[in-house]
Amino acid sequence: MRKRFEQQNELDATPITEVKIDPKSRHELPQLLAGLLYIFKTDKLNEEVFGILEEKILRGKKKTGRLGMSLWEILVLGSVRLNLDTNYDMLQDLANNHDTLRGILGVRTKAVFSQGKYYELQTIKDNVGLLDEETLKRISEVVVKAGHALKKKRKRKSSYALRRTRMQ
């Protein structure tokens, strides 16, 4: 039975909402992780994306059995693989060793008590392979619409501030 997301129950686990992403980085990964963090924090967008994932991955599945990888982990790793155009070996290395990515996955620890979750190669292949192109396109459309709405909201705020400044 898969869950949307379950924060690792470790004493030293870092909450996803507290993950710091380098805003000055020009690499694709931090930009992608910032977008995923926005999806995680924005309730409406979060619901839409998880609805699409549940429809694709959980359709016809029983609600019993092993937990497996969460839908959030599948989305994050699938997005990273697609965005970086990488193979599963590189994805496994990133999932197990890239600190910020592990933070977004919800498995980063401060290494006081444990090293956190380890992703096996076959587990990554089996789970990330569940995302097909159509599902990723649907998720992308939802995220792009949310981005356009956010941009319009910021534009309105900045034009309001500009008008207010002119009036003073």
Question: What's the pLDDT tens digit per position in 111-156?
Answer: 655 677 899 999 999 999 999 889 999 999 999 999 888 877 776 6
pLDDT for residue 153: 74
pLDDT for residue 45: 94
Residue 13, SS3 per DSSP: strand
pLDDT for residue 75: 95
Residue 109, SS3 per DSSP: strand
| pTM (two decimals) | 0.82
Q: Is 36 left (phi over 0), alpha (psi -120 to 50) or beta?
A: alpha
Alpha-carbon dihedral of residues 47, 76, 85, 126, nearest 10 degrees? -100
pLDDT for residue 12: 66
Domain regions of the chain by residue span: 16-167
Distance between alpha carbon 31 and the CA centroid of its chain, in Å?
Answer: 11
Q: What's the length of the chain?
A: 168
Q: How many CB atoms lie within 10 A of CB 123?
A: 16
pLDDT for residue 159: 57
Residue ranges in the chain whose pLDDT is less than 70: 1-12, 62-67, 110-114, 155-168
pLDDT for residue 112: 59
- Alpha-carbon distance of 30 to 21, in angstroms, equals 6
Question: What's the pLDDT tens digit per position in 110-119?
Answer: 665 567 789 9
Partners of 13 in the β-ladder? 109
Which positions ≥6 away from 34 have C-beta within 8 Å? 21, 23
DSSP character at residue 21: -
Which positions ≥6 away from 151 have C-beta within 8 Å? none
